[in-house]
Structure 1
């Protein structure tokens, strides 16, 4: 238990103790008035025992609940066969409510259900033995209140945990997509440049130095990008904000790809679109992953067309290549990259279609909604 919680818990237990004492005093006075003599002594002794157990429940909720229920069951049997006032009395019912509610709130599912069932059995016994007494009704209401009060915060905690788990899962997927996009794109560029360097070594040895410089630059870019994403993973201050590249970086991306791949035509909307950061980032990642897939699976493509169009409430991204069909290509295009693209687009309420074009080539078409409110 946290040290800061001690005063509050002690104050709560003190208030509960005062409530138990008041209930016992009321119970003794009522029994003395209606039954006379010393009948109140057994009733108050049994009630006090359960109340003390309830005050000590923090030392072992399961043991305390079992002990309290056992005392209540014994008191019920003694009262029934010895012709004593109905049990459990008001004070004992209050103590049992505290024990049952505490167990339902804090114990694992199986012990919590067992304690709740034990409390229900005591209530049923009270109804069977003293059906004519208001005490039986009081016990039933106390048990029901205890279960509700214990179960409600438990359900709220479960809901909070589920929401937190979903947030963490979504964040892991988002960061996994970001890592995949960054690493796969840059490493693909390095591999292609290394392959080109091997050809240059055999045909134009004098150009090897330039090729190695290009590979070094691509490796440095990959390392810097990876470090940025790892820095986001290590950031403990709230929700990490992933980069949102704009149109200028989209042009750089296409230019880098055209330097070691097929020619790329880029068509962008006129002016500087004002899109939400998540839309801008998704447009960039869709183009990046599509170009990476062209490099990896469509090396015979002669040209690629990247079109980004903006209508009133929609942003459309289309990447087309003219590579001849290859049987293995359709299988490989179903990897994590396509899954990540689809997750990004569908998270924003958009759609993604990817597949072979009629005749030859491959098409990736993403449609993203952009509302008027988001534009402002």
Structure 2
């Protein structure tokens, strides 16, 4: 609306010039300004091609033919700069390499429609170069952040795969040992039934872990390592409370015994990251509440704090902001979900729902 008002004001202010040049300038300005309006149906590249074609055609017609006596072109120029920034930052590489210079040429050419272009041509050229350079810098930063985010997600999936190795190896080893013991001791009756029951439970646990972590790639040569669980969660919260705000940890009765190992490991990783974020981003927090309970979809982990003032840390100490992205990747790979954001009562809250069996969905 602001750009259209600028075009309308220019049309009224320059109405005394010859009809044809005046009509071309106003019509081009209106079309280009409409192209700058964000639209979900028409992508920025499509609107950019239309704006560049209309603006360059109008400029060529007026420069080669009858010049306009006076051209402000403020609304059209701003619209072209907005489209230029959007195309350079968001468009695919080849499209940006072709459409970007065309939009820049349209920005520089628009003032040349005037009989006496003057200083406005230089200003338009400088603004075009500045906007293009700044948009190119933002494009590089966006690409680097996407690469970093992909690396974090890949690392999290590899970590999941290592845990899969540990869990499956543990349960399969137990199955083999119990099966050999049953075969060599010739168990019968109740002892045989109890042994088969333990073998069945171990096999079900191993299969459940594999189904929850399906499609997760494992790095060749990865070495097994201990998988953290709820005991490590308690130790981590106690250590945090000794140097930070008190932590209230509550776990549903019986859930600690029935929680699968891979889910317990995910709970530990989420709690560890959340407590780290409390130190970084909620330095004034007076309490942290951690709750783990059973829900119809599986196990729900909720972590909340009442802080709101970040700690004074350097950029390297503060990190790149990818911790939650990695945890979200872990939760989704297990068939669950993770959400984080401001709490209704103030402070910050993180909620993760993790399925307890392979057939659960979140």
After TM superposition, the score normalised by the length of structure 2 is: 0.46
Instruction: Identify the structure with the greater helix proportion.
Output: 1
Structure of higher CA gyration radius: 1
After TM superposition, the score normalised by the length of structure 1 is: 0.45
Q: Which has the higher contact order (CA 8 A, sep 6+)?
A: 2
